Amino acid sequence: NWAVGVAACATWLVFALVFRISSLGALGAAALAPVWLILWDQQEMLLLAIFLGALIYIRHSANIKRIINGTEPKIGKKSNPN
C-alpha cells in the first residue's frame, strides 16, 4: 500500500526535522511502520515490517549509543574532524 510508504517517509521527515538526526528518523520510521500497516489494514505485511524494523535497530546500534551519549551528528552541522 503506497500510503504506508508515504507514512513511513513522513515519519522519517518529522523525526529528522524535529530532532535534526537522520538515524533517529530511520529508527522512528522503523518503529512506526507496523503501526501504519495496522491502521491501513495491511496485516499481511506486519511480520515482515517487524523483522525489518528489528534488523534496522540492530544495524543502527552504534547510532543508538551515540544518540544516548549525545554525540550523534546532527543534520546541517559540520562534523568534527577529530
* pTM for the predicted model, two decimal places: 0.86
Task: Report the alpha-carbon distance of residue 54 to residue 10 in Å, rounded.
Answer: 20
Cell of 44: 499481511
Residue 36: what pLDDT?
96
**pLDDT tens for residues 3-45?**
999 999 999 999 999 999 999 999 999 999 999 999 999 999 9
Q: Report which DSSP code applies to 78.
A: P
Residue 59: what pLDDT?
97
The model's confidence at residue 80, banded by pLDDT at 50, 70 and 90, is low
**pLDDT tens for residues 38-65?**
999 999 999 999 999 999 999 999 999 9
Q: How many CA atoms lie within 13 A of 8 on its CB side?
A: 19
